[in-house]
Amino acid sequence: MTDEQLIAAARAAALKAYAPYSGFSVGCAILGEDGTLVTGANMENACYRLGICAEQSALTTAQHAFGLKNIARIAVAGGDGSGEALSGEQAVSPCGGCRQALLEASQLAGRDFTILCASGDGSRIERHRLSDLIPHGFGPANLSDAG
């Protein structure tokens, strides 16, 4: 699967977002080492702060489908999902909470992830290493001194 196909899957997933409060639809596509593709989208609710982000939605599905440690590649896209295709020109950037959840999977997998961050229309793509998105992050490896 090419980067473009993975981003296309994230953009398509964003169209399944439930985001009536923010109007901002995010999709995330995660490819497993075995070639299985899972997706997720943000899901808001009337208690605004309790919504679920696309990345965490997809990570949950990835955990069930092939396990967090077997994640191969990740793409995220966000924008306006009210039309037939996701639109918007600015590359989405994973929120702080999602960076933390991605760090958990990254440390389980034993390697730094590259996150493909796309604009809604897919025209803008940024490739970020997770270690740049969450430098000096606190993950499972940091609990090694726990009693």
Residues that bind ligand THU (CB under 6 A): 19, 22, 24, 26, 42, 44, 51, 53-55, 94-95, 98
DSSP symbols for the chain: --HHHHHHHHHHHHTT-B-TTT--EEEEEEEETTS-EEEEE-B--SSGGG-B-HHHHHHHHHHHHT-GGGEEEEEEEEEB-SSSS-B-SSPP---HHHHHHHHHHHHHHTSPPEEEEEETTS--EEEEEHHHHSTT---GGGGTT--
Residue among 36 and 100 whose Cβ is closer to ligand THU: 100
Residue among 73 and 110 whose Cβ is closer to ligand THU: 73
Residue among 33 and 127 whose Cβ is closer to ligand THU: 127
Residue 84 annotated among the catalytic residues of the structure: no
* Catalytic pick among 33, 44, 55, 104: 55
